[in-house]
Chain A
Amino acid sequence: MSGYTRDEMMTVAASRLLQDGQVCFVGIGLPSAACNLARLTHAPGLVLIYESGTIGTRPQVLPLSIGDGELAETAVCVVPLPEIFSDYLQAGRIDIGFLGAAQIDRHGNLNSTVIGSYDRPRTRLPGAGGATEIAAHAGEVFIVMKATPRSFVPKLDFQTSGGHFAGRAQSGAKGRGPCVVVTDVGILRPRAPDGELMLAATYPGIAVGDARAAIGWPLAVVAKPESVAPPTAAELETLRALQLRTEAAHREPVRLPT
């Protein structure tokens, strides 16, 4: 199998990082695709938690929103939202938290609040949602973002969620912070001791130079970057079938109640 997109490579690379039995706090979009791909391939016992309160959900199709009915119908249980944040996330019961954002800096700090100043923003973004506390308390944070110089920036306009910021160890954050950043041009990992993100693995056909060009700071590269294997036929087949099922389900017209 040779034909696949960068999005597919990225989704497959993220899914391979998940281990069977882990408890994952999942967001909409690519993280949701990656987690469900992992669940349908090598990690059938993966526990998916969406912030709407659905625990252990096994959706047949990918949700369009964080609280789709499909997530509740296929969940082990549905709990009130305050419980998810206090008694699960804050209490340290989440192994992996997935995050994305509009901007990321070299220490894995994230911005999903504003572009420009807070009081007079050029672009008002949706805001933190669950991200700030996921970044603090999930055992590990996996970040999934397409790399462009506009999104991988030397300096954030606003820090919504903390990565490897100065003082993290004394901050009360219970988790280890961002452990990996999966992009469409390769995989970044933080280096000790300051947590600066470095290119740690490359994809087939994407050179180190391509990755550097997509990152807005001078990207450091580990001594011997790993090579990520291309998606297997089985991975692509499972992912594409999931996406086809999703498109078909979301095309069904809704009967307006009368």
Chain B
Amino acid sequence: MTQFVPLDAAIREHVADGACVALEGFTHLIPFAAGNEIIRQGRRELHLVRMTPDLIYDQMIGAGTARKLSFSWGGNPGVGSAHRIRDAVEQGWPRPLELDEHTHAGMAAAYRAGAARLPFGMLRGYIGTDLPRHNPCIRSVRCPYTGEEIATVPALNPDVTILHAQRADSRGNVAITGIVGAAREAGLAAAKLLVTVEEIVPEFPPAMNNVVLPHFTVTAVSHCPGGAWPSYAQGLYARDNDFYLKWDAIARDRDQFTAWIDRHVRGTRDHREFLASLQSGAT
């Protein structure tokens, strides 16, 4: 049975210190509210997994929640650097960050393998790149039929994957409209799947192929309107491009970043207060 619980309770029960946690959502439906709640509850030593660690992991890594990052592209999309991730890698602040670096195609294969409970994913990939020299997890197998050498990556099976979606129904079926990224694969690869949603409706219309994750794959649903801000929820609110630009200045400086996190994340009780605190004052 899918649990329906407030976000703070879901994080408290399902995200432990030291856990391997994937927060997915490719530009669209990024679970920012859940990331903030993990910071608020002071989680430590997490192994964070995400294809595109952008602002959400800039915040979580800058706030000291993580020891390791599995990823394939880290930056502020369309703007530039993820300054907190850079600081962690270049200077070890607030603590050193171990990298498990891949390409998008490699991460996608690893999630797909994880979802299928296979031990590894394979692809014609990592060709002409130095990445395998620095990541011993990138290996290869010989095809038993053709003899071709094919690249492999270990399956990704996070302890918990967290997604944001437009809606769930009263049984816990989850529907996503628009760009899905690797949300389905990351969700099915995990031992537990938490989903924050914009709204919970009694019943979906006959769904055909609209239901992305059926209820028996969903551990918990938390109602969290605006939970993807500053990313977007197709059909409900647009991406706050202006905040992505502002973040560049906030994250550039350690003290300014920490003050922002203290005031807006650690200094608020939940996502509703967080959004209100941004509206009431300068960011």
Contacts and interface: CB of A to CB of B under 8 A. Distances in A.
Given A52-B28, A130-B103, A257 B236 contact: yes
A128 B73 contact: yes
Contacts, number: 207
Nearest to B236: A257
Given A78-B179, A126-B75, A254 B148 contact: no
Interface residues of A, number: 64
B74 A127 contact: yes
Contact of B180 (A78, A86, A256): A78
B144 interface: no
A136 interface: yes
A89 B103 CA distance: 13
Contacts of B181: 52-53, 67, 80-81
Interface string A51-67: 11110000000011111
B73 A123 contact: no
Which of A69, A118, A125 has the most chain B CB atoms inside 10 A of its CB?
A69
A64 B28 CA distance: 13
A66 B72 CA distance: 15
A186 to B, nearest CB: 25
Q: Interface residues of A: mostly helix, strand, loop or mixed?
A: loop
A42 interface: no
Interface string B222-261: 0001100110111011111111100000000000000000
B104 interface: yes
B97 to A, nearest CB: 10
Interface string A152-168: 00000011111101001
A193 interface: no
Interface string B143-181: 000001100000000000000000000000000001111
Contact of A254 (B130, B179, B239): B239
B221 to A, nearest CB: 18
B86 interface: yes
B131 A132 contact: yes
Contacts of B232: 69
A90 B105 contact: yes
B179 A67 contact: yes
Contacts of B75: 125-126
Given A128-B103, A174-B124, A254-B238, A160 B131 contact: yes
28 contacts: A53-B179, A63-B78, A65-B78, A69-B232, A71-B179, A72-B28, A82-B108, A90-B123, A121-B90, A123-B90, A126-B82, A128-B72, A128-B101, A128-B102, A130-B73, A130-B103, A132-B131, A133-B103, A133-B124, A136-B125, A163-B128, A172-B149, A174-B124, A252-B238, A254-B240, A256-B275, A257-B226, A257-B236
Given A78-B179, A86-B109, A257-B233, 15 more contacts: A53-B179, A65-B27, A67-B26, A72-B234, A82-B185, A127-B72, A128-B101, A132-B105, A133-B125, A168-B128, A250-B241, A255-B237, A256-B275, A257-B236, A257-B237
Sorted nearest first, the 7 A-B pairs with minimum C-beta distance are: A162-B128, A67-B27, A257-B226, A129-B73, A126-B75, A82-B108, A65-B77
